[in-house]
Structure 1
Amino acid sequence: MSSASASPPPFSLVGLDHVVFLVDDMARALAFYGDVLGCQPGYSYPALGMEQVWTGASLIVLWDTTHPGAESARPPVAGGRNVDHVCIATSPFAPDAMRAHLAAHGVAIEREATHGGARGVGLSFYIRDPFGNKLELKGPAEYPDGRG
């Protein structure tokens, strides 16, 4: 992964701090992240058209591309993307309760899968926010050592 002669970085990695999603309807974005995912309000930057919401110990930044302050955030190609998905770690959940909650909010489940992540092997639900961003809602490890 790295050269033996390279010096290590002058820092250690702690985890994800935030992810920025481009949106075009802030009220709809805040409703989804608050009502569906239970995110709490974070920092607000009204001059930029940016709102942040807490996702556990990390932030999701919502940047409204229709706002004049978001000129530098607008992608050069309409519909372009540079992120496949973001995985949000969750507390334990009952799969049927997760399905019912998402259905009650009109959120389609694209895929359910049990596979590895930073906390081990566990159940995930893949969904999309109203702007097409793919989210993985990942429960805690069922097999912390990776064995099934």
Structure 2
Amino acid sequence: MTTPPFTLTGIDHVVFLVDDMARALQFYHQVLGCQPGYSYPALGMEQVWAGSALIVLWDTTHPGAADAVPPVAGGRNVDHVCIATSPFDHVALRSHLAAHGVEIEREALHGGARGMGHSFYIRDPFGNKLEIKGPAEYPDGR
């Protein structure tokens, strides 16, 4: 048995699919008390802070959310769960996933609850999308 080349540190963010951003933001800000987070207007995506984690709201009516639209009416409303990790070696993680027959769907560097970091998107055996996200990477090397 192999062990992953990182240590789990918690949930970074969860992505909820919505079809009315104004209504969604009103609920998360006014009902739950979430604070504004990162904004991605080109994607129709707004993030709100829920303590030290983020809830990402992705508006399926926005043209930038083409990949997020549920396949059928009443379909899924969660895009993916992001799992925060310790720093990891990207080559070692690719090797670890390959050894377990897990395909990497996408790699990206973008914002999350801990800042801009490198992410690997995979699926569990049931088709659930998971984002494995390392800690923030800062241009000044912090």
TM-score range, shorter chain: 0.5 to 0.7
2:34 aligned partner: 39
1 or 2 for the larger relative contact order (CA 8 Å, sep ≥6)? 2
TM-score by length of 2: 0.53
1:10 aligns with 2:5: yes
Consecutive unaligned residues of structure 1, counting only runs of 5 or more, are: 1-5, 87-148
1:64 aligned partner: 59
TM-score by length of 1: 0.51
Secondary structure, in 3 states, of the residue corresponding to 1:16?
A: strand
**CA shift at 1:46, angstroms?**
0.1
The alignment covers a number of residue pairs equal to: 79
**CA shift at 1:56, angstroms?**
0.3
Runs of 4+ in 1 over 6 A off after TM superposition: none
CA RMSD of aligned residues (A): 1.6
**Structure with larger Rg:** 1
**CA shift at 1:81, angstroms?**
2.4
Change (3 A) 1:82 1:29: closer
**CA shift at 1:82, angstroms?**
6.6
User: 1:15-73: CA deviations, max 9, x gaps?
Assistant: 00000000011010000000000000000000000000000000000000000000110
Consecutive unaligned residues of structure 2, counting only runs of 5 or more, are: 82-142
